[in-house]
Amino acid sequence: MNSWLEKPWVIRVVALVLSVLLFVVVAFDENVYDNDDGFELPFGDTTSDTQTMEDVPVQTEIDQEKYVVSGVPETVKVSLSGSVSLVTSMVLQRNFDVFVDLEGLEPGTHQVDLEYSGIQDRLNVYIEPQEVEVTIEERASKEFNVTMDAVNRDKVEAGYEVANITTDPGKVLVTSSKSVINKIAIVKAFVDVEGFNESQTIDNVPVKVYDNQGNQLNVRIDPPTVDVEVEMSNPSKSVPITLETENELPEGIKLEETKLENEQVQIFAAESYLAELEEIKTKPIDLSKLTESGSMEVELALPSEVRKAANETVNVDVSVEKVEEQDLNDVAIQLEGEESGQTVSFVEPDSNVMNITMSGYPSDLEQISPEDLQLLVDVGGLGPGEHEVPIELITPDDVPESVQFELQFEQAAINIEEEE
């Protein structure tokens, strides 16, 4: 046996057979079993493959300037089966087309097959879905005004507001089927103005089309975007500040004066609100807690319509008075009803003067002088001898009721003598 294998011609024959078999396995599959040369392999298929491609785009063959088509899927699933080499090459290159041929069909609804081109006949092709229902409508175009919607108007920088918004261009041409064009309710662009504090232009803002139910419509828009100019303003007005108080002052305390460091404040708000605004009040000062003069910071009661205030607080100088006592010395006592032929002399006090103690707020007391007060002793109808007579105090009509007077003597001891 070994000697037989050592013969050169045997080795050559074996090598030739192995080379032929290797070539056939690598280069051929079942699609070349029966090729142009009439060569058929005498054994079964071992090189077939099936691959599926997702999201294969679908083309529509129709006069796009005249008709609008709905119902055609944007993409389909395509499965190829056949030789490994052909399937792999087709999947990698994707140099084929899937389409629906609508040429020659009238407007209306039709069931049509999905077709393909550019795929070799030796491959089996399956498209999912195989057919679709399409609607053909006549194309229509109409010009619409572009309206603007500013998103987050309430979030512009404090003190500012959107004064005006314009678009360039102000109109766009919308193209679709007649039925869709008739559904259009509004053509709108949106711009987010959050944080805006100055006028500015935003380029290439997309335009969107909606029906009267708020559904966005899939149409062709020319141009698809617009430039938007947003004008900002910061309207303001200076108004008086009104100081508010609550509760009662403690006993023995008088509020003499309150003085605002700033009597006005600049308010930023909408023009319509500012037109009606007459004042800004402070949050109330609690009078029951005032015991002495001084300065305090008080918050402004800013309404919700106010976007911003130049100052949110105001300093208030508060002057209060406490009840004090003041002595008026040697106020003269006058006699009333004295009869002729009588001499009246004072025993207590020992002269016709005495002291008066006033208690009240300093601002009230300082307006009262000894000359404003009268002390009267009525001796009318009294005979000779010693008498206890009430001392009457007469004050001006404008003396505040809060001022109290205390006489050194409530009664005077007098002595009346008859003249000889």
Q: Tell me, what's the pLDDT at 285? A: 93
Domains recognised in the chain with CATH numbers: 48-139 (2.170.120.30), 146-233 (2.170.120.40), 236-322 (2.170.120.40), 324-418 (2.170.120.30)
Query: Residue 311: which of 262, 270, 275 has the closest Cα?
Result: 262
Average pLDDT over residues 44-63: 83
Burial grade of 326 (CB within 10 A; 0-12, 13-18, 19 or more) = middle
The 10 Å CB-count burial string (b at 16+, else e) for 224-237 is eebebebebebbbb
Is the predicted pLDDT of residue 332 greater than 80, yes or no? yes
- Three-class SS of residue 8? helix
β-strand partners of 149: 190
Is the predicted pLDDT of residue 362 greater than 80, yes or no? yes
Is the predicted pLDDT of residue 27 greater than 70, yes or no? no
- Predicted TM-score (pTM) of the model is 0.49
The DSSP annotation for 261-319 comes to S-SEEEEE--HHHHHH---EEBPPEEGGG--S-EEEEEEB---TT--EES-SEEEEEEE
Confidence of residue 46 (pLDDT cuts 50, 70, 90): very low
Is the predicted pLDDT of residue 38 greater than 90, yes or no? no
Pick the more confident residue, 1 or 368.
368
β-strand partners of 411: 390
- Three-class SS of residue 244? coil
Is the predicted pLDDT of residue 56 greater than 70, yes or no? yes
Cα–Cα distance for residue pair 294/174, rounded to 1 Å? 71
Mean model confidence pLDDT for the chain = 86
Q: How many CB atoms lie within 10 A of CB 158?
A: 12
Is the predicted pLDDT of residue 26 greater than 60, yes or no? no
